[in-house]
Structure 1
Amino acid sequence: MDGKYKGLKGYSSLYFEKIAILGVGLMGASFAKAVRKLGITAKICGYGRNETTLAWAKENTIIDCYDTTLSGLAKGADLIILATPVGTFEKLAVEISPFLKQGAIVTDVGSVKGSLVYTLEGLMPKGVHFVGAHPIAGKDQSGMKASSDILYKGALCIVTPTDNTDLTALETVKALWSAIGCSVKTLTPEKHDEIFSSISHLPHIAAYAMINVIAEISDTFFEYAGKGFKDTTRIAGSSPDIWSDICLLNKENITSHIGIYIEKLNAILTHIKNSSKDGLIKEFDNARALRKKMNDCLHSNIEDCIDNV
């Protein structure tokens, strides 16, 4: 890529003259702060719906410049990050593709891959490469004011190449997330969506549902909520726009997994109705043992965990 390399130990070729970020919210702004701290780019530019918000980001040195047009944002960009809700990716890719320069890399921070990766690959002009990425990081708060230059530090980042992925672009994206502080692993887009439907998407849906259940029983009960309830439902504070897109784009996996969840709830419901303490103990003991196994797994090799999913 063009420009004089400023230097980053261990990543001698990792430098971008211009990084363009579509969506300067929690994920996009945290990415901007992380790459600025590394010193691997000359310019970080942002794009979003709210010019006032973008101006604030520039004033607070999250970004160096912003543009309210995709043509202006894309001009001269070596790396383009899609950090808007995943439901907007395809439309943005269509609109930005005529302005992308040869050799540019387009990647993302979205938590749905599957067919979306193949769609985005197909929308890239010749000489421009898409590489899907999903850093497993976030907060229950949204927006750039909640962003942090260490949001991704120590996180797992899943990269989802296909048979058509350019190998140089792939290695660049992997090196980028490694430099930011992530542990980088590779999955097919299909396997990614199957896994994260169960361990991420379903829990978010359950948390949203739990809050709505309590409200339906009596919203006055919330004032009695303790740490356990707050911990269990923390992720219900996540962005509805982001999570509605995720549900619709990964609907086949999610509907299947919700069905299994309902079956497990019904099994517990049956044991309670039948006053079956043995049945309840069996269900709870099994869950506790699996929770311990998961905890042990998180402290070992993630690939071993994936092989057993």
Structure 2
Amino acid sequence: MKKVELVVIEQNRNGTPLNILVVGLGLIGGSFAASLRECGESFHLMGFDLRSENVEKAVSLRIVAEGCEDFKSAVDKADVIQLSVPMLAMPKVLQQLKGLDLAGKVMTDVGSCKGSLVQAAREIFGDIPESLVPGHPIAGSEKSGVTAARAGLFKHHKVILTPLENTDRAALSLVRHLWQCCGAQVNVMDVWRHDEVLAMTSHLPHLLAFSLVDTLAGNPENQDIFRYAAGGFRDFTRIAGSDPV
């Protein structure tokens, strides 16, 4: 691949902003773009989403400067590609990327399970691209969608990057820098350790909250159950209002 560091150096010297493409304009992807927009550095932020209304909203809210309707054209223009789609959609997006020219481009993601991303990338590309930097911001909200995006979502929150042995160091450095521009504290962790820790601290609590609310909602006496629920119950079940996908 064309060396990432050379791309960055050349663009910094001539004042050309990095073209950053956010694929998936939901809460996380939108907040990533909004944070970079306000960080004071020169980035050209582009957005792609399968739902055209999300692209239109992102442009109207000035979350991205350019809305993209054609995936190939958007990727061709991008220097950095941030994959912010649900985990189940990652393989399909990676498959689309495989057929495009990715020379000199950095790819990263925001998925909460790094093992499945790495496995999908290995199956699709054969050898995992050196320019792929798996990542996961430890931040969010029970609200979802591009209208819930906000610039300060990642400020003072941790972002975990899980580079592989073959990950390009310049690509890793660039992705780290972008998250730091968002105000995040960036940590590096092994893929499998990340998944082990997040299964206990994030996935299990989500599963329990969704399961509890679903069970109680089906109880014949659910009106009284929810009417007299106190603060502790509301705190525990708040995340059940988030998007289960």
**Does the alignment reach a TM-score above 0.5?**
yes
Q: Whole-Å Cα distance in 2 between the matches of residues 118 and 162 of structure 1?
A: 12
1:75 paired to 2:59: no
Alignment of 1:1-309 (within 5 A): 1=7, 2-4=10-12, 16-120=17-121, 123=125, 129-217=131-219, 218-220=221-223, 221-241=225-245
- C-alpha distance in 1, partners of 2:71/2:47? 10
Query: 1:91-114 CA distances to partner (integer Å, 9 max, x unpaired)?
Result: 101112333442110001110101
Shift of 1:125: 8.9
- Over 3 Å counting, the alpha-carbon distance change for 1:48 and 1:30 in structure 2 is same
Counterpart of 2:179, as a letter, is W
Q: Where in structure 1 do 4 or more consecutive aligned residues deviate above 4 Å? A: 4-7, 124-128
Query: Is residue 70–residue 96 contact of structure 1 (8 Å, CA) maintained in 2?
Result: no
Deviations 1:11-38 (A, max 9, x none): xxxx852110110110011000111112
Tell me if structure 1 keeps the 8 A contact 2:57–2:147: no
For 1:201 and 1:6, locate their aligned partners in 2 and report how far apart those are by CA, in whole Å: 45
The alignment partner of 1:56 has SS state of helix
Report how many aligned residue pairs link the two structures.
234
Unaligned 5+ runs, structure 2: 1-6
Aligned to 2:3: none
Identity of aligned residues (%): 33
Q: Bigger radius of gyration, 1 or 2? A: 1
**What RMSD in Å do the two structures reach over aligned CA positions?**
2.2
Residue type of the alignment partner of 1:145? T
Distance 2:128 2:94 in 1: 14
Partners of 2:140 and 2:43 in 1: CA distance? 26
Moved more, 121-130 or 41-50: 121-130
Q: Distance in 1 between matches of 2:186 and 2:89?
A: 25
Q: What's the TM-score, normalizing by structure 1?
A: 0.70
Q: Given that residues 131 and 167 in structure 2 are in contact (C-alpha distance below 8 angstroms), is that contact kept between their aligned partners in structure 1?
A: yes
What TM-score does the superposition give when structure 2 sets the normalisation length?
Answer: 0.88
C-alpha separation between the residues in 1 aligned to 2:30 and 2:133?
20
Q: In the TM superposition, what is the alpha-carbon distance from 1:209 to its structure 2 partner? A: 1.1
d(CA) in 1 for partners of 2:152 and 2:14? 21
Contact 1:112 1:193 in 2 (8 A): yes
Between 1 and 2, higher relative CO (CA 8 Å, sep ≥ 6) is seen in: 2
Q: State the partner residue of 1:269.
A: none
- Cα separation, partners in 2 of 1:224 and 1:109, compared to 1, 3 Å: same
Q: Would you tell me which structure has more helix in proportion to its own residues?
A: 1
- Amino acid paired to 2:71: L
**Secondary structure of residue in 1 paired with 2:47:** strand
Distance 1:215 1:229 in 2: 14
Q: Secondary structure at the match of 1:61?
A: coil
Shift of 1:234: 0.5
